[in-house]
């Protein structure tokens, strides 16, 4: 398979901040068929890279002592060619800089931001670490989206700050959704989630991970200590479920029903 086409402004990487590295590796390794490679603990703090079929698909990072009270969480990183400029534009666009740009030795430069609706995300300017080696296949990310409590402001933020060329997919009272790019070339989305998110839950990015069979993956996740937030259901975009890992990090799984249908007709 060709390498993913990672567009500036689009998601280029994802990692998990976890309170138990070995438990997280065991869970995701069995669920998605990942293998893992550690890094220099002195230089990278125990950061571990996950691979699917030899291609890097995610990172797993143990919490630092000062992060003990923070929940386990997945973070989406958006590609930038100039992270210092992006940090300035984030503030000018109504967002926040949670962690200013810093160098990750030999790999690239990163920063942590909040968008205009409050959703946290990372910025990544690559050198050696160029991001996902595989996308849109089982065991790798298939979609990224922001659930936003401030939908118009959030769409404008990503247009102005990250250069998103957007397409409105739906604009009704029941469902408002905008994508980065359109059709099969779309790379991420923003959903109006003001009436969807539970009270107290802020705007947030979420990641959909590809699986061959959503129902089997849910059963496996439960067997491995995960929990079901939302049971599998068919949608126009595939069969989707929301889960947490054994340590509470939320993620989604996605089964491509068009492929299953094509195989059934073969």
Phi and psi at residue 89, to the nearest 5°? -70, -35
State pLDDT tens for residues 126-137.
999 999 999 999
Spell out the residues 6+ positions from residue 12 whose beta carbon is closer than 8 angstroms to its own.
6, 77, 78, 79, 124, 126, 130, 131, 132
| pTM value > 0.85 | yes
Q: What pLDDT is recorded for position 64? A: 80
Q: For residue 266, is pLDDT > 50? A: no
Architecture per CATH, 11-126: Roll (3.10)
**Cβ contacts of 159-164, under 8 Å, gap ≥ 24:** 160/89, 160/93, 161/86, 161/89, 161/90, 161/92, 161/93, 161/95, 161/115, 162/8, 162/9, 162/78, 162/80, 162/86, 163/8, 163/9, 164/9
Ranges of CATH 3.10.180.10 domains, the chain: 11-126, 141-265
Q: What pLDDT is recorded for position 247? A: 97
Percent of the chain with pLDDT over 70: 93
Mean pLDDT of 218-244: 97
Distance CA 206, CA 247 (A): 17
Q: For residue 185, is pLDDT > 90? A: no
Please, which pLDDT band fits residue 42 given cuts at 50, 70 and 90?
Answer: low
Superfamily of domain 141-265: 2,3-Dihydroxybiphenyl 1,2-Dioxygenase, domain 1 (3.10.180.10)
């Amino acid at each position: 398979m060709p390498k993913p086409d990672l567009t500036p402004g689009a998601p280029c990487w994802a990692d998990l901040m976890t309170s138990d590295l070995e438990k997280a590796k065991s869970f995701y390794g069995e669920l998605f068929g990942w293998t893992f490679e550690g890094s220099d603990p002195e230089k990278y703090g125990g950061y571990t890279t996950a691979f699917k079929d030899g291609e890097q698909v995610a990172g797993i990072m143990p919490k630092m002592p000062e992060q003990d009270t923070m929940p386990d969480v997945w973070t989406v990183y958006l590609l930038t060619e100039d992270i210092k400029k992006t940090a300035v534009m984030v503030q000018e666009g109504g967002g926040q800089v949670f962690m200013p740009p810093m160098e990750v030795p030999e790999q690239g430069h990163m920063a942590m931001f909040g968008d205009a609706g409050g959703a946290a995300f990372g910025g990544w300017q690559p050198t050696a670490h160029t991001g996902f080696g595989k996308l849109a296949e089982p065991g790798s990310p298939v979609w990224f989206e922001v659930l936003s409590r401030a939908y118009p402001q959030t769409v404008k933020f990503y247009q102005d700050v990250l250069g998103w060329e957007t397409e409105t997919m739906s604009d009704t009272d029941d469902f408002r959704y905008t994508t980065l790019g359109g059709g099969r070339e779309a790379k991420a989305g923003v959903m109006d989630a003001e009436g969807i998110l539970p009270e107290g839950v802020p705007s947030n990015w979420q990641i959909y991970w590809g699986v061959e069979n959503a129902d089997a993956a849910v059963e496996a996740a439960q067997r491995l200590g995960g929990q079901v937030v939302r049971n599998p259901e068919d949608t126009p975009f595939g069969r989707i479920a929301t889960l947490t890992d054994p340590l509470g990090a939320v993620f989604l799984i996605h089964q491509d029903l068009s492929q299953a249908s094509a195989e059934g007709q073969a």
